[in-house]
Chains A and B, each alone.
Chain A
Amino acid sequence: RKEVEQDPGPFNVPEGATVAFNCTYSNSASQSFFWYRQDCRKEPKLLMSVYSSGNEDGRFTAQLNRASQYISLLIRDSKLSDSATYLCVVNRWDSGYALNFGKGTSLLVTP
């Protein structure tokens, strides 16, 4: 079983739609959680960290459920510029420094 699993998509949504991505992780020792964004296989860029209490940044909301080992990302009022691949990323306390990346979920926002 892979350490971080995501639905690869693609998710095709119209502008203005709300879309949600899910991610599960297999190792209960996981400590830190992130969503990164990658455009056309360019470098990944941090979108937001994910906390147990949930956190929001503008149109983006991230949730973490440690009991279910599940992370989510909600994007409201989708923009064309949101089209990208969204990477679920987990860091385990016992691996110290390695970020463990999911393969990503592809989002295409259409006019």
Chain B
Amino acid sequence: NAGVMQNPRHLVRRRGQEARLRCSPMKGHSHVYWYRQLPEEGLKFMVYLQKENIIDESGMPKERFSAEFPKEGPSILRIQQVVRGDSAAYFCASSLRAGGSYEQYFGPGTRLTVT
């Protein structure tokens, strides 16, 4: 039973390029969460999605960041015009049911480096 899958595991982008991070939830899970971990910092919530809907994006930066979870395929976190401050580990998590009280299973993360 595959866990949460993320790809790529490592991504290098130059300033101004676009970064696309993919997340496939655990089988049977329809709730997806994205978190960011900056160097020497704790994980910070970014966005919560269900299929085709953004439920809570209170942690998303107002500009350049967007997320989607289409009916078919993985969830995508998109960062346009990346800057050095975007360098971080981006973790995706999924859960069987909605709500923070239910266990969220994390993927291995995508480490984004902006040069």
Contacts and interface: CB of A to CB of B under 8 A. Distances in A.
Interface of A: 4, 31-32, 41-46, 87, 91-92, 95-104
B106 A43 contact: yes
Nearest to A46: B103
Interface string B97-114: 011110111111100000
Interface in B60-77: none
B16 interface: no
Given A43-B91, A101-B42, A103-B42, A95 B100 contact: yes
A43 B56 CA distance: 22
Contact of B48 (A45, A87, A97): A97
Contact of B107 (A43, A95, A97, A98): A43
Contacts, number: 68
Given A43-B109, A98-B48, A104 B42 contact: yes
B1 interface: no
Contact of A101 (B44, B101, B103): B44
Interface centre among A4, A31, A43, A101 (most CB of B within 10 A): A43
Interface of B: 31, 33, 35, 37, 41-45, 48, 55-56, 58-59, 89, 91, 98-101, 103-109
Given A42-B108, A43-B109, A96 B100 contact: yes
B50 to A, nearest CB: 10
5 contacts: A46-B105, A97-B98, A98-B100, A99-B43, A99-B104
Contacts of B107: 43
Contacts of A97: 31, 33, 45, 48, 55-56, 98-100
Nearest to A2: B42
Nearest to A31: B101
A103 B91 CA distance: 15
Contacts of B89: 41
